[in-house]
Amino acid sequence: MWPCGGRRQRRVGGVALVAVVLWVLVRRFNWSELVPLRLWGRTLGLQTERSQFLLEGMPFRIFGGSVHYFRVPREYWEDRMLKMKACGLNTLTTYVPWNLHERDRGKFDFSRNLDLRAFLSLAAQNGLWVILRPGPYICSEWDLGGLPSWLLQDPEMQLRTTYKGFTEAVDAYFDHLMPIVVPLQYKKGGPIIAVQVENEYGSYAKDPNYMAYVKTALLNRGIVEMLMTSDNKNGLSYGLVEGALATVNFQKLEPGLLKHLDSVQRDQPKMVMEYWTGWFDNWGGPHYVFDADEMVNTVASVLKLGASINLYMFHGGTNFGFMNGALEADEYKSDVTSYDYDAVLTEAGDYTSKFFKLRQLFSMVIGQPLPLPPVIESKASYGAILLHQYISLWDVIPPLLQPIKSEFPINMENLHLNDSSGQSYGYVLYEVVIFGGGHLHSRNHVRDRAQVFVNTMYVGELDYNTVELSLPEGQGFRQLRLLVENRGRVNYGLALNEQRKGLIGDVFLNNAPLRNFKIYSLELKPAFMKSLQHVSGWSAVPDYFVGPAFFRGRLWIEHQPQDTFLKLQGWEKGVVFVNGQNLGRYWKIGPQETLYLPGPWLRKGSNEIVIFEERTAGRIIQSVDIPYLGRTQYVD
């Protein structure tokens, strides 16, 4: 028999244990404090109970924000997450870009800046839940909506359908992606509380069996968390799939918009998967901005109605390299390099007025103090950078590039390159021998823009609007050269199957189709850019020079490198590389006038800058500490 003192000790110990358990439960089920590493015994996951979400059986609201790991340097991932927490958000949403993870068919990359496991684990470490949006299609103003271009090698390809060639490729991709994702689900101790089935399929809706296929593909590979769909108002009823919660996307809260969700699914919580905090820009247009007060008032209205919300974008980042998408409605319009989006954070991760207004709003809703916002890193102005050497494209071709010979023009995707995966991005040079001059007609087979040369003499351009040129007469045989740029594949709408680039058909001279081409791939990959350093023929830049040509110079940094912005005033159109990193495109038509250069991509000492300029080159570029994204226009 235990003595009385022992019973008293056990009573005190029991009370203490209950207090500890109650403390843990309070910590555990206060939704605003839910932190993945603090949860024990996860069994229920995210659920719905009439008009509310439950997480582990307790009421929960999703305050989310979108940050895409592939648009942000890895060194800044945690900074952006800490800023989400400081704004009052509890959930991170991200797309997964298939065309980066499987650039060439059958070769998968989840390393370095594409380390999805590391990104999601970091979200957990910083107390953020995750809604994963793995596609396979993601839209996102990203080339072909995230689908790899090698899919278009099949002339019968039907993207985003149950066409066998597409589903076999998706299955192979998911077989590699899902083993990374599955262990990071909530019920397995990870941060993923929900997974989205495809993306805005209601606006495409070409195959009534497709959404069920994608859902099954996820479930069969071990996805056990809540499934969701995401559509705008007009696509809601066409993008549904049984067993997935429908969510809605918008920017302006029209009367009855959230109630419209009840017409497609009754007695379910309301979720805005994409509340558009700003908008994206196209070359030749304005820089769009969305009024901060109007945005915050709309968010407040959504919250007042009891809905959950995800801010698209919380932080937009950058379309580095050639990864920007495009629109094709009345005309083709490619997206700019910056994905600033007029979001809550700027392209470089700095605070905006939207951040502080939202922080105040979420603080009031949560009813608890928020973490202090991280200190902003200062930006550098390194001044003028002289591009002191150049080499003409025509001098680069013989030592570095081998032609593909073909009787007929071949589109970019079907060039026999990259282990038969074709060429995805960049430029293609088509050469053909002609005799004399005359009338050149593209029959609208140029995708997207071709500079036309006779030998090395510039003649003009062909694109969607200009389909014919006059070639000057000349003596003997000459080379006709078409330097064709892929400006970015359309990422939204019904034209996805028609996004092959380069020359997609015959080009005619005096009504006769051109034949017997030499075709050179100019994908400007890292290996090519490295070999360019050692090619002979670099010369001092003259006072005036017309491209296409490569230019190089050096930026010397004395201290710890900082973020900066490159201004290319006096340059016409091209691409900038710094220490081998492709910063993206510039174009004098704007609106974007500076390119973001992240500090982690620089180093103390010498930094090599290479510019591929298509036409008119300057002599210097400027490193400035303030971005300029162009003349602004408010979103209607």
Q: Show which residues are catalytic.
A: 200, 274
Cα–Cα dist 391/396, whole Å: 7
Cα–Cα dist 110/106, whole Å: 13
Q: 10 Å Cβ neighbour count for 418?
A: 17
> For residue 271, what are the contacts with CB-CB under 8 A and spacing of at least 6?
62, 228, 245, 247, 248, 307, 308, 309, 310
Cα–Cα dist 60/344, whole Å: 23
Q: Which of 311, 237, 283 is nearest to 64 (CA)?
A: 311
Cα–Cα dist 262/238, whole Å: 15
Query: Is residue 252 classed as helix, strand or coil in its secondary structure?
Result: coil
Cα–Cα dist 450/463, whole Å: 6
Q: At what angle do helices 77-87 and 353-366 cross, to 10 degrees?
A: 50
Distances from the Cα of 633 to the Cαs of 57, 173, 300, 386, in angstroms?
A: 46, 40, 24, 34
- Termini Cα distance of the chain: 81
Output phi, psi for 125, to 5 deg.
Answer: -60, -30
Q: Which of 477, 483, 468, 471 is nearest to 548 (CA)?
A: 483
Give the CA count within 13 Å in the CB-facing half-sphere of 476. Answer: 3
Output phi, psi for 404, to 5 deg.
Answer: -95, 125
Cα–Cα dist 133/120, whole Å: 12
